[in-house]
Amino acid sequence: MEILAFGVQDDERPLIERAFAGEHEVRCVDVFLNGDTAAIARGYEAVSTSVNADLGGPVLQTLAAGGTQFVAQRSTGFNNIDLDVAERLALTVARVSSYSPYSVAEFAWTLAMAVNRRVVRAANRTRDFDFRLEGLMGRDLRGRTVGVIGTGRIGEAFTRIAHGFGMNLLGWDLAENPVCAGLGMRYVEREELFREADVVSLHVPLLPSTEHLVDARALGLMKDDAILVNSSRGGLIDTRALVDVLRAGRLLGVGLDVYEAEAGLFFYDKSLDVVTDDVLARLMTFPNVVVTSHQAYYTEDAVTEIVDTTVRNVRDYVAGRHSENVLVPARPPR
């Protein structure tokens, strides 16, 4: 079977081609799947997509009309997929339900530390041979309180690092993680977590119930000198409310690897374009905000695991098997 893989980065290509070698032919393209590019999948029974692919109803209809029967998404989140339409079209859809949690957890702490110790500002200064320390003072993390929103595999890995720093641990989730509790985490209501935490890090999926989890009210509860980190999904934060809070001079800093309107921006070179997203443009002006382009997962270890799981998903599809990665099993069209 020949597979068309959308949105393949140069670093990923050899990993994908090596993983599929001798089993299936894979054609890697660097364009991302959306309404303009879906037509190039015509004739491919299987396609593999990246995290920011548009898998809404119109795109799925184009894929199905072109003969596609299987969609293998190379990510855990699936808020970008219209599962109801996929089911009506009898498309089988699979994802990567888990991969190295350390990649994201470590990067979340990278963002937190970069904000706390003003690493970006310091690096920019020293490139100009400005070696002053004014404005670069950070804080020890030991003895301070971290609030972990979501204590699944990634939240647990993040908590282990926080425990190593010697921090007080607060957690919020629908179910307590016994490993985190064993490290001394105290589970509290969200409001208490926002009020008490010096660092708040988000590790929950984007669902209708979690959209804008960090809204104006939650931000209003946070300490004026708290740090907010989001390495999960951009829609967890009401970015307009965040801009208002930053404009008012509140929060020590913010580290964002995701943005709620990142589709069509992240993973692209927009350096020569006019920025039309006024909210993102305003966000970028704050010196205490660090924004990266959805790269938390992007380690050799994690990407290799993602690719290997995608290969297994293809094998399961060919064999007619359903694993925990299958979001929509094939059914006859309605």
- Which residues participate in catalysis according to the annotation? 233, 262
Q: Which residue has the tokens 């999960």?
A: 232
Q: What's the rounded Cα separation, in Å, for the pair 235 and 66? A: 32
* Sheet of strand 46-49: strand arrangement: 25-28, 2-5, 46-49, 70-73, 92-94, 326-328
Q: What's the rounded Cα separation, in Å, for the pair 163 and 183? A: 7
CB 140 within 8 A of CB 119: no
Three-state secondary structure call for residue 274: coil
Within a 10 A sphere around the Cβ of 131, how many other Cβ atoms? 8
Q: What's the rounded Cα separation, in Å, for the pair 140 and 281? A: 31
Cα–Cα–Cα angle for 110, 131, 106, rounded to 5 degrees:
5
Question: What does DSSP say about strands 46-49 and 227-230: parallel, antiparallel, or unpaired?
Answer: unpaired
Q: What's the rounded Cα separation, in Å, for the pair 222 and 200? A: 9
Residues in the chain: 334
Hey, what are 144's tokens? 């301070």
Q: What is the DSSP string of 237-283?
A: B-HHHHHHHHHTT-SSEEEES--TT-TTTTTS--TTSPP--HHHHHH
Q: How far is C-alpha 284 from the chain's CA centre?
A: 19
- Of the candidates 2, 7, 45, the one whose C-alpha atom is nearest the C-alpha of residue 26 is 2
Q: How far is C-alpha 99 from the chain's CA centre?
A: 12
DSSP code at position 157: H
Maximum distance among all Cα pairs of the chain, rounded to whole angstroms: 68
Query: For residue 92, what are the β-bridge partners?
Result: 70
Within a 10 A sphere around the Cβ of 51, how many other Cβ atoms? 24
